[in-house]
Chains A and B, each alone.
Chain A
Amino acid sequence: MLRYVFRRLLTAIPTLFVIVTVAFFLIRVAPGGPFNQERGLSPEIRANLEAQFGLNDPLWLQYVHYLGNLLRGNFGPSYNLPDFTVTELFAKGLPISVQIGSSALVLALLLGSILGTIAALNQNKLADYSVIALATAGSTIPTFVIAPVIQLVFGLSWKLLPIGGWGDGAFINKVGPVLTLALPQIAIVARLMRGSMIESLRSHHIRTARALGLSDWSVVVKHALRGAVLPIVSFTGPAAAALLTGSIIVETIFSIPGVGRYFVDAALNRDYTLVMGTVVVIALFTIVFNLIVDLLYAVVDPRVRYD
């Protein structure tokens, strides 16, 4: 088991290296640079800035420098937010995004699994159709519609929730963004769960459990649910990586100071270091969560235990 984890972490190194390399050169292919925008800096200032950040060096040398810094844990300064290093930006924003994202993820997994199970147990009955309708709505209505509706209804009309802002992490401020983030995920999880639960309930060993006179609770929860949960576990890996690294739409609409907007902002501004920082963070999250998922998989299913 430890050997397996060690092996997986070892294979993560070349993966990360390839990602960093591709991202580094791709963003440089895009025309423009961090210091030529409409507002226009005078050529002298621009030249100075570029010299200061080493942007005039040959590309390969910049790449070598960047890799060297990265190995020392230094993501470099942000070009557009010059008062901060990329590390500082993430230190401030990432915990916020992780809080919102993980709450949404937990909510989605719990609610989605319950709804999916209820639907599967009542296949082709009212409860099933309701869940399917809900799931379809949840996955088709985009977050940029859900978010303003939540603001309008719960914030403006009923005054139950603040319209936006972080409020130093007050619970009430998190409700809106968490709900908005969670809804589409609930829909996905519910649908996945419904499908795999229906299949699980049809399997031969469930028939055996029923033939042995086991209680409904044991048949459904102990035997059917555990097998049905595997696709959800697989789904959780990429979903966690995506949710925990912030959402630009939700964070922008609710004015949450997370890291979700960095990726798009940084890419548009050619803030090379910030783009790279975001890429590395997302890649790391993806790698780590996929590893966790694979380990969880082995916990649930003895057939895939390692070593």
Chain B
Amino acid sequence: MASETILSVKDLRVRFQTLDGTVEAVKGINIKVNAGETVAVVGESGSGKSQTMMAAMSLLSSNGEATGQVDYRGRNLLEMTKHELNKVRGRKISMIFQEPMTSLDPLYTIGNQLIEPIRRHRGLNAQAAREEALKLLRLVHIPDPERRMKSYPHEMSGGQRQRVMIAMALANDPDILIADEPTTALDVTIQAQILMLLAELQRKLGMAIVFITHDLGIVRRFADRVYVMRQGEVVEEGDAEALFANPQHAYTKMLLAAEPTGTKAAPPANSPVLLEGRNVEVVFKIGGGFLGGEPLMLRAVDKISIRLKRNQTIGIVGESGSGKSTLGRALLRLLPSDGVIRFGDRDISEADRRAMRPLRRELQLVFQDPFGSLSPRMTVGQVITEGLLVHEPSLTGKQRDHRAVEALREVGLDPNARNRYPHEFSGGQRQRIAIARAMILKPKVVVLDEPTSALDRSVQKQIVELLRKLQADHQLSYLFISHDLAVVRAMADYIIVMKQGKIVEEGPTEEIFGNPREVYTQTLMNAAIDTARFRISA
């Protein structure tokens, strides 16, 4: 079965016209997909892996242009008229995307969106198409499909939406399913479920799958053949097993070794407690108001106690909605909360904004999103020295500039960068800037809220190493919030597992990873290990 080549990309080039001139995103690549096989296109962000498939499907944005050949069963997709193309797209080749939250039309019911492509491609009447849609929802294991047909996307979770997307893509029994980072935006337990589903469907239906991904765990587990892309070129290709066993290209080797490694030793037992929370509770009020009836009370953080010592890193692990970020914010008094919070020997439970201000320099926060958290209208120098204006107003401009240079050097950036603007930097560099902004104030406690989640693996590793070095140099205490167990394992010496606002389990890292007691922790670990089982450590 896996012999006939059904899709062949030949010398494909993709160019984008931008204000900075022409950018070549894909530079003449060749890719083949055989019937029924699973091909993975791997690379980090900006490698052109997504644009390759977007070009094949004629989904490039309007400033993009593709040249070369994309032959599907002998016919070049790039030369088809729109009408011909629309008989292939969604029928023979279909696609699912990275963003399950936004890839469905928010204004139509799931049923409506499922029925439309079925009717269009197969000319079924409304009743038959409805039956078919129900069958598909059952196929992707959506519970209570009859009721779900009438649901809108916003009434479903990310995992369920991705299942619906898969159902839509498979509606017309395609030859090829292109999956563009299908699990990246999902929680780890959901990721595992979606991958299982795809594997199961492939066994049942026999279509070829093209995985576009940065996650080598997925590749190793599911792919027959792999293409490694970098800067618009395929640098290595081959059988998945052979490629993992014996990578040829330096870039592939680097990708394989990009898993963060090492562990963090616990601080000495007599290390003083710096930040302490006792029975911390955060309740959000939803709805209510004038004639609105009783508001709904959501207990985001439910009586949690935590003690962060000097030079300690506590990893807070949990899926989205578990309350881990809320806890971090509450401990820094950025959110109103109940319970007792102490910083050093001070009770800050009741401290208001003004009382907190002098303490802020010692309690810093680094966010997940390196793109949104830096003001685009300030130079890097201004961004990182802004805190000094508040906390050390006596510094002269020259002294501030000197501190900026120092801070940038410390996070491994060229000090000359301080006169440039954030948009000129990559995601990893921006995260370094955000870290420099926190470090320049010489804090004692830093809350790191998913600081590596938006970054490529190889960059993640560098940031993890940077954070560890800064901790060792300055005896910092970290509260490390993450859903990424591999990173947490490398960063934290103590772990708190959260679910629905409560602590499920806590303990030293090695204990939690080596011998998880609670079922939920085990599920979390298994899901992570399932996708990461074959990751190779350096």
Give chain A nearest CB distance to B75 CB in angstroms: 15
Pick from A209, A210, A215, A302: contact of B106, CB below 8 A: A302
Within 8 A of B (CB), among A260-307: 300-303
Pick from B62, B104, B107, B290: contact of A208, CB below 8 A: B104
A214 close to B104 (CB less than 8 A):
no
B95 beta carbon closer than 8 Å to chain A: yes
Answer whether A212 and B154 are a contact pair too, CB < 8 Å, given A202-B61, A204-B102, A205-B102: no
CA distance A215 to B496 in the complex (A): 51
B99 close to A213 (CB less than 8 A):
no
Q: Which residue of A lies closest to B104 (CB)?
A: A205
CA distance A130 to B123 in the complex (A): 40
CA distance A300 to B121 in the complex (A): 27
B349 beta carbon closer than 8 Å to chain A: no
Within 8 A of A (CB), among B102-121: 102-108, 116-117, 120-121
A7 close to B90 (CB less than 8 A):
no
Answer whether A213 and B120 are a contact pair too, CB < 8 Å, given A208-B165, A300-B107: yes
Pick from A7, A208, A303: contact of B97, CB below 8 A: A208
A48 beta carbon closer than 8 Å to chain B: no
A 8-37 to B, binary, CB cutoff 8 A, 1 in contact else 0: 001100000000000000000000000000
How many A-B pairs have beta carbons closer than 8 Å: the answer is: 84
A212 close to B103 (CB less than 8 A):
no
B89 beta carbon closer than 8 Å to chain A: yes
Give chain B nearest CB distance to A136 CB in angstroms: 23
CA distance A212 to B91 in the complex (A): 7
**Tally of A interface residues using CB under 8 Å:** 27
Contacts of B97 in A (CB 8 A): 204, 207-208, 211
B271 beta carbon closer than 8 Å to chain A: no
Give chain B nearest CB distance to A268 CB in angstroms: 39
B 120-140 to A, binary, CB cutoff 8 A, 1 in contact else 0: 110000000000000000000
B52 beta carbon closer than 8 Å to chain A: no
B117 close to A212 (CB less than 8 A):
yes
B89 close to A213 (CB less than 8 A):
yes
CA distance A205 to B107 in the complex (A): 10
B32 beta carbon closer than 8 Å to chain A: no
A212 close to B291 (CB less than 8 A):
no
Q: Which residue of B lies closest to A305 (CB)?
A: B152
CA distance A59 to B116 in the complex (A): 67
Within 8 A of B (CB), among A193-222: 202-205, 207-216, 218, 222
A 111-150 to B, binary, CB cutoff 8 A, 1 in contact else 0: 0000000000001000000000000000000000000000
Among B80-88, B206-214, B325-333, the stretch in contact with A: B80-88
Contacts of A226 in B (CB 8 A): 107
Pick from B82, B90, B94: contact of A216, CB below 8 A: B82
A 146-189 to B, binary, CB cutoff 8 A, 1 in contact else 0: 00000000000000000000000000000000000000000000
Q: Which residue of B lies closest to A8 (CB)?
A: B291
B 36-75 to A, binary, CB cutoff 8 A, 1 in contact else 0: 0000000000000000000001110110000000000000
A302 close to B57 (CB less than 8 A):
no
Give chain A nearest CB distance to B364 CB in angstroms: 34
Give chain A nearest CB distance to B100 CB in angstroms: 9
Q: Chain B: interface secondary structure?
A: loop
A301 close to B106 (CB less than 8 A):
yes
Contacts of B228 in A (CB 8 A): none
Contacts of B169 in A (CB 8 A): 211-212
A212 close to B104 (CB less than 8 A):
no
Give chain B nearest CB distance to A4 CB in angstroms: 10
From A10, A203, A209, residue with most partner B Cβ within 10 Å: A209
CA distance A7 to B85 in the complex (A): 51
Give chain A nearest CB distance to B154 CB in angstroms: 5
A211 close to B95 (CB less than 8 A):
yes
Give chain B nearest CB distance to A7 CB in angstroms: 5
B168 beta carbon closer than 8 Å to chain A: yes
A214 close to B86 (CB less than 8 A):
yes
Within 8 A of B (CB), among A211-263: 211-216, 218, 222-223, 226-227
Contacts of B107 in A (CB 8 A): 223, 226-227, 300-302
CA distance A208 to B87 in the complex (A): 15
Give chain A nearest CB distance to B171 CB in angstroms: 8
Q: Which residue of B lies closest to A7 (CB)?
A: B291
CA distance A227 to B465 in the complex (A): 45
From A203, A208, A209, A223, residue with most partner B Cβ within 10 Å: A208
Contacts of A212 in B (CB 8 A): 89-90, 94, 116-117, 120, 168-169
A211 close to B116 (CB less than 8 A):
no
Answer whether A208 and B103 are a contact pair too, CB < 8 Å, given A7-B291, A213-B86: yes
B154 close to A215 (CB less than 8 A):
no
Answer whether A214 and B117 are a contact pair too, CB < 8 Å, given A203-B102, A205-B102: yes
B 404-417 to A, binary, CB cutoff 8 A, 1 in contact else 0: 00000000000000
Give chain A nearest CB distance to B387 CB in angstroms: 35
Q: Which residue of A lies closest to B57 (CB)?
A: A211
Contacts of B87 in A (CB 8 A): 213
Contacts of A209 in B (CB 8 A): 105
B 232-275 to A, binary, CB cutoff 8 A, 1 in contact else 0: 00000000000000000000000000000000000000000000
B86 close to A215 (CB less than 8 A):
yes
Q: Which residue of B lies closest to A227 (CB)?
A: B107
Provide 14 A-B residue pairs closer than 8 Å at the C-beta atoms, listed in order of the A residue. Answer: A7-B290, A203-B102, A205-B102, A209-B105, A210-B59, A211-B94, A211-B169, A213-B85, A213-B91, A213-B121, A214-B86, A214-B120, A302-B152, A303-B154
> What 5 A-B pairs come out closest when comparing CB atoms?
A213-B90, A212-B90, A213-B89, A213-B86, A204-B102
Extra A-B contacts (14), CB below 8 Å, given A7-B290, A208-B105, A209-B105: A11-B290, A204-B102, A205-B102, A205-B105, A207-B97, A208-B168, A211-B90, A212-B116, A214-B120, A215-B86, A215-B120, A218-B120, A222-B108, A227-B107
Residues of B within 8 A of A (CB): 57-59, 61-62, 82, 85-91, 94-95, 97, 99, 102-108, 116-117, 120-121, 152, 154, 165, 168-169, 290-291
